[in-house]
């Protein structure tokens, strides 16, 4: 049998024992570790359906796991206590008709602990006890309501669904003709504004090039001032200096004109730059909020997500072999 020499530092306390004529290596440290863990209680993690994999609990010893679970339970109890406190405060203010203050308390309660009952009370306060849906059409509130629980959405839409649908139809009817008018006006201004911007850009670049040439002329002519007794370098330096200053003034003039022309082009693409455009922008924002409230958050296409998750290298790597087999 071939003998193998193993360094003692590499094995660290590994001892040999014979079992059935074969050599087996047993780590002495494993016995000490088992003895140390005998007195520790066993903990089993139980996750509800839908809970994700918790990486923070991986690799913890039993004692560390116990401390972490106790810490989480303590935090849950504290959050529940705060939630109950805000709910009680919100109910008092709601009963007194202080709906805005009650809305803040219910929102704070949801930050500590979520429940559909708390969320329903939030929208009851937001709508002034289901009498006014205007606050639902605030963009932040509309986005939040779009992600609300289905039972909560159903409760609110049972009251305001018909009126909100009528509001959407009215806003769409008002926005439709404005879209054509605003778009035609933008297109009509786009061409002249672009030409104006191009006009000043060409002149700005030309003057910038002249400014650079004159500045180089100053540097070259001034380098001969101490090399020759002729007055020519002095005259050229002064001449180039005057030309450089004049080019700088003209450059500033065209730079300002170019900035104004660029701002006109940018403002032309903004709806709020005109009165009709501002009106259309307000209607589009209202329609977007109504869509969130009535239709909920837009669902992402599952196929797009799968396509994004696919590795293009896998298909490219597999295709040559498959093509070769087919051939």
Residue 327 in any domain: the answer is no
Residue of 127, 172, 168 whose CA lies nearest to 145: 127
Runs of H (alpha helix) within the chain: 8-11, 28-37, 62-95, 99-112, 116-126, 139-146, 150-222, 232-268, 275-295, 302-309, 312-326
Whether residue 318 is predicted with pLDDT greater than 50 in this model: the reply is: no
Mean pLDDT, rounded, for 22-43: 48
Query: In this structure, are 157 and 194 located in the same domain?
Result: no
Query: pLDDT class for 19, splitting at 50, 70, 90?
Result: very low
Residue 146 in any domain: the answer is yes
Rounded Cα distance, 183 and 192, in Å:
15
Query: In this structure, are 187 and 106 located in the same domain?
Result: no
Q: How many helices (H) and strands (E) does the chain have?
A: 11, 2
pLDDT at 121: 93
Query: In this structure, are 219 and 146 located in the same domain?
Result: no
Rounded Cα distance, 272 and 280, in Å:
8
Whether residue 56 is predicted with pLDDT greater than 70 in this model: the reply is: yes
Residue 17 in any domain: the answer is no
**Of 135, 163, 191, at which residue does a domain stop?**
163
Q: What beta strand segments (E) does the chain contain?
A: 14-19, 22-27
Q: Rounded to the nearest 10 degrees, what angle do helices 150-222 and 116-126 cross at?
A: 70
Query: In this structure, are 205 and 129 located in the same domain?
Result: no
What is the torsional sign of CA 94, 100, 101, 107?
A: positive
pLDDT at 22: 46
Residue 245 in any domain: the answer is yes
Q: What beta strand segments (E) does 90-218 contain?
A: none
Rounded Cα distance, 204 and 255, in Å:
6
Residue 301 in any domain: the answer is no
Summarize pLDDT for 88-138 with one digit per residue, the tens: 999 999 999 999 999 999 999 999 999 999 999 999 999 999 999 999 999
**Of 133, 163, 193, at which residue does a domain stop?**
163
Whether residue 171 is predicted with pLDDT greater than 70 in this model: the reply is: yes
Q: Which residues is 206 bridged to in the sheet?
A: none
Query: In this structure, are 98 and 145 located in the same domain?
Result: yes
Contact 80, 105 (CB under 8 A): no
Radius of gyration, CA atoms only, the chain: 38
Whether residue 256 is predicted with pLDDT greater than 80 in this model: the reply is: yes
Rounded Cα distance, 28 and 17, in Å:
12
Query: In this structure, are 225 and 130 located in the same domain?
Result: no
Query: In this structure, are 230 and 147 located in the same domain?
Result: no
pLDDT at 5: 52
Number of independent structural domains in the chain: 2
Query: In this structure, are 119 and 150 located in the same domain?
Result: yes
**Of 163, 190, 225, at which residue does a domain stop?**
163
Which residues are within 8 A (CB) of 203 and not within 5 positions of it... i.e. 6 or more apart?
254
Residue 22 in any domain: the answer is no
Work out the mean pLDDT of the chain and round it to a whole number.
80
Query: In this structure, are 131 and 200 located in the same domain?
Result: no
Contact 236, 221 (CB under 8 A): yes
Query: In this structure, are 226 and 153 located in the same domain?
Result: no
Exposed, middle or buried, 153 (CB in 10 Å: 0-12/13-18/19+)? buried
Query: In this structure, are 100 and 152 located in the same domain?
Result: yes
Residue 280 in any domain: the answer is yes
Residue 169 in any domain: the answer is no
Summarize pLDDT for 69-82 with one digit per residue, the tens: 888 888 999 999 99
Query: In this structure, are 273 and 199 located in the same domain?
Result: yes
Query: pLDDT class for 240, splitting at 50, 70, 90?
Result: very high
Contact 80, 59 (CB under 8 A): no
Domain hosting residue 102, numbered range: 69-163
Q: Is 58 left (phi over 0), alpha (psi -120 to 50) or beta?
A: beta
Pairing of strands 14-19, 22-27: antiparallel
């Amino acid at each position: 049998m071939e003998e193998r020499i193993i360094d003692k530092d590499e094995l660290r306390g590994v001892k040999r024992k014979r079992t059935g004529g074969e050599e087996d290596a047993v780590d002495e440290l494993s016995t000490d570790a088992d003895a140390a863990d005998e007195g520790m209680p066993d903990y089993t993690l139980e996750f509800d359906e839908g809970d994700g994999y918790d990486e923070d609990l991986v690799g913890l010893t039993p004692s560390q796991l116990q401390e972490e679970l106790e810490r989480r339970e303590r935090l849950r109890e504290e959050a529940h206590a705060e939630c109950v406190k805000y709910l009680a405060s919100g109910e008092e203010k709601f009963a007194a008709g202080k709906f805005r203050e009650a809305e803040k308390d219910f929102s704070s309660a949801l930050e500590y602990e979520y429940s559909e009952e708390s969320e329903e009370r939030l929208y009851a306060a937001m709508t002034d006890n289901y009498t006014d849906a205007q606050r639902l059409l605030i963009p932040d509130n509309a986005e939040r309501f779009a992600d609300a629980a289905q039972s909560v959405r159903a409760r609110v839409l049972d009251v305001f669904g018909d009126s909100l649908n009528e509001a959407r139809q009215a806003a769409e009817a008002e926005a439709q003709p404005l879209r054509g008018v605003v778009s035609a006006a933008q297109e009509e201004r786009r061409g002249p504004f672009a030409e104006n911007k191009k006009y000043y850009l060409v002149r700005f670049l030309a003057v910038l090039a002249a400014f650079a040439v004159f500045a180089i002329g100053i540097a070259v002519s001034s380098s001969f001032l101490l090399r020759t007794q002729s007055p020519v370098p002095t005259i050229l330096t002064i001449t180039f200096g005057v030309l450089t200053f004049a080019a700088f003034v003209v450059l500033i003039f065209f730079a300002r004109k170019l900035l104004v022309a660029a701002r006109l082009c940018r403002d032309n693409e903004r709806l709020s730059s005109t009165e009709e455009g501002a009106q259309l922008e307000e209607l589009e924002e209202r329609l977007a909020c109504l869509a969130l409230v009535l239709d909920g958050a837009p669902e992402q296409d599952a196929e797009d997500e799968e396509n994004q998750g696919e590795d293009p290298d896998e298909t490219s790597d597999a295709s040559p072999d498959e093509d070769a087999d087919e051939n």
